[in-house]
């Protein structure tokens, strides 16, 4: 089964379009227990899970075996938000490590290029039954400083990245939840070939309903869930928004 199919099945089973970003800024040795607690509370009502450097740096892939185990038991697709951006040999090494440890997908930066960059990493993660998601338009305030840069022919780079996602076979693209006009524009480029995943909801000011209403497939939500005193209630509020 492809990553897109796994995510769709999980979303339907759990009645949710929310991908939980397990981000914590607590003391390093306290983060894993908190992540397990939030994941346990919400696992029946989310579509998928994303982990970032907050957990991967202090614990490594081996140290995340409990989180990976919960995701596997609940059939929740697990995404590594590494914003992968290296040469081919390293990218393939990253992809193989992630799939060996039970991750389903990785986020990558298409800036690095196809040849000896991401091209074979896309093929490898697909061969490993996983998925790859390209950064196309980020959600922070300074995103315009990079993603609005134009090529010599005048095309802004986010449109080039969206075209790369479609042409290189990416499973999904990351687009800011707050840039609803960009979500619609990028859908026009990627069509049905890529899922649109949108971070920037809650702590960064975006609304899940606006992003989904503009055509996003999923919202990625971190601090407004991981910092909530009742993460399940917070997920339910998003699911019904
Ligand atoms: P919050 O706490 O803001 O966390 O809900 C969002 C999560 O998603 C990551 N993030 C992004 N990841 N492109 C990405 O690939 C983005 O534009 C983007 N904005 C936020 C963030 O690092 C955190 O894990």
182 is catalytic: no
Q: Is 120 exposed, middle or buried (0-12, 13-18, 19+ CB in 10 A)?
A: middle
**H-run or E-run covering 82:** strand 78-84
| Ligand 1 site-directed mutation target among 138, 142, 220, most atoms within 8 Å of CB | 220
Ligand 1 pocket member 231 (CB < 6 A): no
For the stretch 20-48, pLDDT in tens is 999 999 999 999 999 999 999 999 999 99
For the stretch 98-151, pLDDT in tens is 999 999 999 999 999 999 999 999 999 999 999 999 999 998 889 999 999 999
| Ligand 1 site-directed mutation target among 18, 19, 21, 108, most atoms within 8 Å of CB | 21
Across the chain, mean pLDDT equals 96
Angle between helices 157-168 and 180-190 (to 10 degrees): 40
Report all structural domains of the chain as residue ranges with CATH numbers, in order of start. 3-239 (3.20.20.70)
């Amino acid at each position: 089964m492809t990553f897109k199919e796994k995510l769709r099945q999980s979303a339907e089973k759990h009645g949710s379009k929310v991908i939980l970003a397990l981000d914590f800024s607590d003391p390093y040795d306290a983060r894993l227990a908190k992540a397990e607690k939030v994941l346990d509370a919400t696992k029946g009502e989310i579509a998928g899970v994303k982990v970032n450097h907050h957990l991967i740096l202090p614990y490594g892939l081996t140290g995340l075996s409990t989180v990976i185990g919960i995701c596997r038991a609940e059939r929740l697709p697990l995404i590594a938000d590494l914003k992968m951006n290296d040469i081919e040999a390293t990218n393939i090494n990253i992809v193989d490590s992630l799939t060996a440890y039970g991750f389903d997908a990785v986020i990558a930066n298409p800036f690095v290029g196809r040849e000896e960059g991401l091209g074979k990493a896309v093929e490898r993660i697909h061969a490993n039954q996983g998925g790859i998601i390209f950064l196309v338009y980020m959600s922070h305030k300074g995103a315009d400083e990079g993603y609005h840069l134009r090529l010599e022919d005048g095309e802004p780079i986010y449109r080039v990245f969206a075209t790369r996602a479609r042409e290189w076979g990416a499973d999904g693209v990351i687009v800011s939840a707050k840039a609803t006009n960009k979500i619609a524009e990028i859908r026009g480029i990627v069509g049905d070939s890529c899922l649109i995943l949108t971070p920037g909801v809650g702590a960064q000011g975006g609304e899940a309903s606006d992003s989904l209403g503009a055509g996003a497939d999923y919202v990625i939500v971190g601090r407004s869930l991981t910092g909530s005193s009742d993460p399940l209630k917070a997920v339910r509020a998003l699911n019904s928004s």
